[in-house]
Amino acid sequence: MNIQIQSVSMTYPGGKAALREVSLSLGSPCLIGLLGPNGAGKSTLMKLMTAALLPTGGEIRIDGQPLSKAEKALKQRLGYLPQSFGLYDELRVYQFLDYMAALKGISPARAAVERAMEAVNLSDLRKKKIRTLSGGQRQRVGIAQALLGDPELLIFDEPTVGLDPEERIRMRNLFASLAREKLVILSTHIIDDVQSVCGQLAVINRGKILFSGSPEALTARARGHVGVWLGEPGEDCPLTVTSQTHTADGVLCRGVAGELPGFVRPAEPALEDAYIWMMQEGSV
Ligand code: ADP
Ligand code: MG
């Protein structure tokens, strides 16, 4: 499966330009991370990809077909976790998934529901009412419904919100294994979610794609812009601090800047440095 996003713009009825001339090429199998701060346009882009919204400019093509013409076919190949996902609080986990399977026209539903619950480790909670679940458990129910019917395109909008560290790692592994065969797109503002698992990253800010490519290529963008130094960063620190570590010698700071000041020691960039650097660069 192949998704071509061609100069897509989205201006909401109130006049807010959420996306401006966004172009991206996505092809399976791959795990693609859409990375950007709140308000960047991630959810808008995902809604456009699922045909839940129509762009005000440009076009999206799925396997060469305009999405506007292939919408029905797409829905059968798609699993989608929206950012705000209403769950039916009074239903039990398996009842909810059964219901979602019916809406998707999956039959027999039973095996599909079992597989989806197993994938997100919900089988033991199957009889629990959704109302009684923790935030992370609810999020897993949301992920499970997207997996129903084994769709070849999976779009997860901030799937790791509310998950504890252990659940996060489990989800990350699940996404990576799904992406061996499918096109899996996830949005996040957390670098850890995409570090080491995504084959492709797209960085978005203020409705524009700032970068698209491999994590290594993104990291390389910050080369020469990352430095470390010992001491507390002051008010007038010329670098944007990306981390502070307490060591036996004092606080070891790490930061990014266009030009490194003399007091820092240049360092190899990490993905997080590159992301912060890109946000800073993109805003000038
Ligand atoms: P993200 O998912 O990256 O946080 P969104 O796509 O939700 O970003 O939002 C991008 C921009 O569009 C934000 O400025 C947001 O306030 C605005 N926006 C989102 N949805 C709507 C809407 N339905 N009507 C008007 N503006 C919206
Ligand atoms: Mg969002």
Give the distance (Å) from ligand 1 centre to CA of residue 94.
32
Phi, psi of 158 (to 5 degrees): 50, 60
pLDDT above 70: residue 284: no
N-terminal to C-terminal alpha carbon distance within the chain? 36
Work out which ligand 1 atom sits closest to the CA atom of 207. 10
**How many Cα atoms sit within 13 Å of 249 on the Cβ side?**
5
Residue nearest to atom 17 of ligand 1 (CA): 18
Angular region, 196: left φ>0, alpha ψ -120 to 50, beta rest: left
pLDDT above 70: residue 264: yes
Compute the mean pLDDT over every residue in the chain, rounded to the nearest whole number: 94
Provide the 3-class DSSP secondary structure of residue 73. Answer: helix
Nearest-angstrom CA–CA distance, 121 and 173: 12
C-alpha torsion angle, residues 193, 196, 202, 206 (rounded to 10): 40
Residue 238, pLDDT score? 92
pLDDT above 60: residue 145: yes
Across the range 25-38, mean pLDDT stands at 96
- Count of all residues that appear for the chain in the document: 284
Residue 73, pLDDT score? 87
Residue 25, pLDDT score? 96
Across the range 43-54, mean pLDDT stands at 96
pLDDT band with cut points at 50, 70 and 90 for residue 208: very high
- For the chain, state the CA radius of gyration: 21
Please list every protein residue whose CB sits less than 6 Å from any atom of ligand 1: 12, 14, 16, 18, 36, 38-44
What angle (nearest 5°) sits at the alpha carbon of residue 27, between those of residues 23 and 29? 150
Phi, psi of 127 (to 5 degrees): -95, 0
Q: What percent of the chain has pLDDT over 90?
A: 83
Residue 87, pLDDT score? 87
pLDDT, tens digit, 9 for 90 and up, residues 157-170: 999 988 889 889 98
pLDDT band with cut points at 50, 70 and 90 for residue 196: confident
Residue 10, pLDDT score? 98
Residue 99, pLDDT score? 95
pLDDT above 80: residue 282: no
- CB within 5 A of ion ligand 2: which residues? 42-43, 83
Closest ligand to 84 CA? 2
Burial classification of residue 84, based on how many CB atoms lie within 10 Å of its CB (0-12 exposed, 13-18 middle, 19 or more buried):
exposed
Nearest-angstrom CA–CA distance, 21 and 5: 9
Burial classification of residue 168, based on how many CB atoms lie within 10 Å of its CB (0-12 exposed, 13-18 middle, 19 or more buried):
middle
Closest ligand to 18 CA? 1
Across the range 41-62, mean pLDDT stands at 97
- Residue written as token pair 């799925």: 62
Per 3-state DSSP, the chain is made up of helix, strand and coil in percentages (nearest 5) of: 35, 30, 35
Nearest-angstrom CA–CA distance, 199 and 154: 15
pLDDT above 80: residue 242: yes
pLDDT band with cut points at 50, 70 and 90 for residue 155: very high
Is beta strand 226-230 parallel, antiparallel or unpaired with respect to 208-213? unpaired
CB 243 within 8 A of CB 233: no
Please choose from 8, 10, 16 the residue to mutate so as to test ligand 1's pocket, defined by most ligand atoms within 8 A of CB.
16
pLDDT, tens digit, 9 for 90 and up, residues 63-80: 999 998 888 889 889 999
